[in-house]
Structure 1
Amino acid sequence: MTDVYSDVVQFRGTHGEFGFFQGKKLLSSPILSYREIQWGPRKERHFIIDPEGFTQIIKSIAPGILEEIHGLAEALKIEMNDAIQLFSGYYLEYVRSGCSVYADKDYMVRNYDSHPRSYEGRYLFYQPTDAGYATIGPSMQITGRIDGMNEKGLVMAYNFTHRKKSADGFLCNMIGRLILETCGNVEEAVDLLKEIPHRHSFSYILLDPAGEPHVVEASPRKVAVRRSSVCTNHFHLLDDENRYRQEDSRRREEIIQREQQYVTNPYQAFQVMNNPAYDVYSDKYDAAAGTLHTSVYFPKEMQAWYAIGPDRPPVIFDFQKWLEGKDTPVSRVRGKIDYPEGFANMA
């Protein structure tokens, strides 16, 4: 087992200030240098950007994020086009992953499955002072979010379906950030998902204090919405968009549906996902499908749980108190995974 950790980052201020703050921290972090190694010769061929297209779209949805990227560029002393390539989540390729989600009327519990070396190990609290909702959750590509909750109690997570027949558009992590920063409820999030361009095919699972979980199946061609409490890595409505092999995704879905009907509290629901004995938690790290974190969000209580690795008690964050100005004393969340290498934030 390898010791791993996520750094907890807390910030209140404008998007430009937040970008500069993150950029300064990245100067002493191995995250960006490791990403360059990951991309290698594929960078210019696959990580194609359209700065004008991205700028036009992001200004109409969340202009603050553009200011955040400006701040990152300034701190890192790089050109804006390079910063857009690194941080915009627009037009880029995506490493495939697994992931499983269960949503009750009062909470959402989620396993994020991917490759350890693609995981940034950053858990962020951010309260913008210029525009947009305050958010909590783990990051991807610095500016994007893997899952999370905003100050309105809107919770978001996503699951990979496939990247065949990709098109110009946003990656899942930036879409997740846009949902959390600009949408106040499930209905607004559904409308956004119907409007923005999608790079690949993903399911977006949404929950707000009203307590009705929705799954939005989104591909570059179609978007469909269903009410459901369980989601893994295949579509139900857009069946023609599914991958050829769905056995493991359907297996996890059946286990979650069976086991969650017997749970009587959120911690039991968390254990179904986090305890390997239930066979939902995955150790397939070499296949970019091993569970890296299990998170739980409570939209009414405004709390978040977060655990790294299997069979771990979650760290509990009180987001409501943080919104009221009381910082969390937690600076790092630690865990263990059955893989010889650590996360991208670890030297």
Structure 2
Amino acid sequence: MTFQSVSEAKPGDRWRALFEAYWPAYERWFLSEGVEARQTYLAGYRALKKHMPELVPTYDKLVELVGGGDVAARFLSFYCPPPYLSGCSQAVKAGDEPLLVRNYDYPPALSDAVILNSRWNDRWVTGMTDGLFGLVDGMNEAGLAVSLTFGGRTIVGDGFGVPIIIRYVLEFCRTTQEAVRALKRIPCHMAYNVTVVDKNGRYNTVYMSPDRGTSVTDQPVATNHQEQVEWHRHARATATVERERFLLQRLTLHDEPADRFIAAFQKPPLYSLAYDRGFGTLYTAVYWPARGAIEYRWPGEVWDHEVTNPSIGTRTIKFPAGAMLA
């Protein structure tokens, strides 16, 4: 699996080339339930204008870049997309220098594997993309880091796919308080847990759901359930309770340096080899908000980045046999 890092301040030829390469696969996924199952372009546009109006000019530019087609425009709004699941573990380690560490557990064949550095709205943002517009985790030059995990509920409702919400937060928020306000008011189409930390070490984990509002917690840890386990089969398959307990114990019972805490994410029970079931760990991301530094890690390999000075290039990672079949 090849990860690539791309930098382009404003949407242009590089982003368009990425979209053109990925669009055939995304179009098949987006229309997998039939075009009638997807919201109209107008519904998505109106929802963006109501809930994330500052993002509309960027959306318009991206739609223009890809030719203005109806299906692509619906897709890029991220409004009421097909459901999708992931694993993932994430935790904030507070202290002298806060950091956010996360494992992204997902089928390799379905991941963008694109680190995008951009300045679309006068603030540098770097993160791992989803759908080339959204982000599954990232950080901005203000020192705000954000990451998501699936919330372990099967309910689907009206709202946005969470990656576009993460994009919005990083484009327009500077602090955890600002991010939480945005997360509370923007509707999400599925259950997701979003952990936020800023350069001053303030953090929250926000439980988002389409049917029961948003809950703001002071939890430093998120795996794949919210207040309690509701989807027991998924919980057993992903070991969500075991991973949460492990992380909480590391944070509360161990006074360990940051490097040892980070290293724990690349070992069981956090590091997953369940690629055949679509929950293998694709990468570990480490965000250092106070210094604007980012690390993408794999066993035995670290790729360093800075939000305002990105590392451009590719890294090819070998996963266990059968991983790409997920």
Instruction: Identify whether the pair has TM-score above 0.5, normalized to the shorter chain.
Output: yes
For residue 117 of structure 2, the aligned residue among 113, 122, 125 is 125
Q: Report SS of the residue matched to 1:72.
A: helix
Is there any run of 5+ residues in structure 1 with no aligned partner, and where? none
Paired residues of 2:304 and 2:311 also in contact (CA < 8 A): no
**Aligned counterpart in structure 2 of residue 243 of structure 1, from 227, 231, 235:** 231
Q: How far did residue 291 of structure 1 move?
A: 0.8
Partner in structure 1 of residue 188 of structure 2: 198
SS at match of 2:270: coil
> Do 2:80 and 2:160's aligned partners in 1 also have CA atoms closer than 8 Å?
yes
Q: Residues 53-84 of structure 1, C-alpha deviation per residue, up to 9 Å, x if partnerless? A: 332332355446433343333333342x3222
Instruction: Give the drift of 1:181.
Output: 1.0
Q: Which residue of 2 aligns with 1:336?
A: 318
| Aligned equivalents of 1:41, 1:159: Cα separation in 2 | 23
Which of 89, 103, 108 is the equivalent residue of 1:111? Answer: 103
Q: How many residues align?
A: 318
Residue segments in structure 2 that go unaligned for 5+ positions in a row: none
Q: Is the 8 A contact 2:48 2:77 kept in 1?
A: no
Q: What is the CA distance between 1:316 and its match in structure 2?
A: 1.2
1:184 aligned onto 2:181: no
In the superposition, the TM-score normalised over structure 1's length comes to 0.83
Letter in structure 2 aligned against 1:90: Y
Whether the 8 Å contact between 2:18 and 2:132 is mirrored in structure 1 is no
Is 1:97 aligned to 2:97, yes or no? no
Amino acid in structure 1 at the alignment position of 2:277: A
Other-structure match for 1:314? 302
- C-alpha RMSD of the superposition: 2.4
What TM-score do you get using the length of structure 2 for normalisation?
Answer: 0.88
Q: Identity, % of aligned pairs? A: 24
Partner of 1:264: 256
Q: Would the aligned equivalents of 1:118 and 1:343 in 2 still touch at CA under 8 Å?
A: no
Given candidates 240, 245, 253, the residue that maps to 1:254 is: 245
Going from structure 1 to structure 2, the CA distance change for 1:123 and 1:343 (only over 3 Å counts) comes to farther
1:75-134 CA distance string (max 9 Å, x none)? 33342x322222221100232111001111210000011111110111011112xx3532
Does 2:41 correspond to 1:84? Answer: no
Alignment of 1:30-45 (within 5 A): 31-39=22-30, 41-45=32-36
Q: Which digits, 9 at most, give the CA deviation of each residue in 1:164-201, with x for residues without a partner?
A: 23111011111111111111111111111111111011
Secondary structure of the residue that 1:12 maps to in structure 2?
coil
Cα shift readout 1:19-69 (whole Å, capped 9, x = no counterpart): 554113433x2x2222344456424254x1243333233235544643334
Report the Cα distance in structure 2 between the residues aligned to 1:78 and 1:343, rounded to whole angstroms.
Answer: 33
Equivalent-residue separation in structure 2 for 1:90 and 1:225 (angstroms): 23
Structure 2: distance between partners of 1:26 and 1:244: 36
Query: Closer, same or farther in 2 for the Cα pair 1:193/1:50, shift >3 Å?
Result: farther
CA contact (8 A) 1:20 1:68 kept: no
Hey, what does 1:173 align to over in structure 2?
163
Matches of 2:199 and 2:311, distance apart in 1: 27
- Report the secondary structure of 1:289's partner residue: coil
